[in-house]
Structure 1
């Protein structure tokens, strides 16, 4: 999914058409659409997955869709309503990315940097590592910390290649 989001999205659409009443199918289709940049479609599938399966793990992705669609306050509302203790590590990271994106949209760039500061910033081998690193670098740049962003990028070159 990370290497070819467009292709993953096409597969997600097909499987959703064939087995759209399964939460896992709608979740995967939604995440694929999100990664491919089809935010309205992703939101529809992720909300369906939430209705069908009830998993709180959908909330970070729903918040990301809302932020990408320009609904920053809605994204923050969703992020604030989630009990992070009930999320896995991946879900917590995705929630931070969504909240930081929303903060940036609202011009709260320093808050976006603070939101992304976590021990997971030192992780390099998780599926979400590149997204977290890029979000943190972008937040640093937006807050005027260009040299700090450059230093961070040099620490994790594999995330920016």
Structure 2
């Protein structure tokens, strides 16, 4: 008998034999201990598979998290994983719903930047700005604060506030001499926004500044810089 759509989602994609679930961080495994042993093992394998695939095959990763959610929807880390995978796969409404659920369960505000970006992706920049004003943002780690700042700038740009968007990034230590990943992300966002604003020469300068600190190649700044300079030649 052919399985229904719901049954297929519950089953999830095939689990690679080499994925045991033990690849997960201990804090994640601890949250699964309240489940029956076999069930916890199955959920862990789906979460581990999702983690391995989220960059290369985000849709498959999302399907793995749906299979985990079907078995453990009351576990916060499962809803978090489902939200992150949905976000990576471009399912922003679903991601927002899952991240809201994870936030309720865990009480953490770490999901706020991603939630704001989902609102923006859904064409609701005003809601993204509301989340950016949440007092809890100031208590987030620096990298998460920067992510929220980038989303805020993007939302302002969406609303036609080009100068305000650029000032938002300029006021976020875009000229920091640190070489942390958040500096890379901030400079890249600034360069990208300058280009969208038609300030091409300044954008090229800031793509150069991004490449200078992006030793891990976290962005495609080098490729974009090469294209821009080729167009000028």
TM range (shorter): 0.7 to 0.9
Match of 1:53 among 79, 101, 106: 106
How many pairs are equivalent? 160
- Larger radius of gyration, structure 1 or 2? 2
Say which structure, 1 or 2, has more relative contact order (CA 8 Å, 6+ apart): 1
Cα distance in structure 2, aligned partners of 1:18 and 1:120: 44
Gap regions ≥5 residues in structure 1: none
Match of 2:194 in 1: 140
Contiguous gaps of at least 5 residues in structure 2: 1-53, 212-216, 224-233
Structure 1 residues 6 and 107: alpha-carbon distance in aligned structure 2, compared to 1, 3 A threshold? same
**Larger deviation: 47-56 or 28-37?**
28-37
1:6 paired residue number: 59
Matched-pair contact (CA < 8 Å) for 2:112–2:137: no
The CA deviation at 1:114 is: 2.0
What's the CA shift string for 1:97-133, capped at 9, x where partnerless?
221121111011222222223336766663x666544
Query: Greater CA deviation, 47-56 or 148-157?
Result: 148-157
Aligned-residue CA RMSD (Å): 2.5
TM-score (norm 1): 0.83
Distance in 1 between residues matched to 2:168 and 2:158, nearest whole Å: 14
Give 2:78's match in structure 1, choosing from 17, 22, 25.
Answer: 25
Give the number of the structure whose residues are more often helix, by fraction. 1
Map 1:88-107 → 2, pairs under 5 A: 88-107=141-160
- TM-score normalised by L of structure 2: 0.60
- Distance in 2 of aligned mates of 1:131 and 1:64: 15
Matched, 1:72 2:72: no
Q: Give CA-to-partner distance per residue, 1:128-156, whole Å, 9 cap, x none.
A: 66654443222112222221111222233
Does the 8 Å CA contact 1:56/1:87 hold for their aligned counterparts?
yes
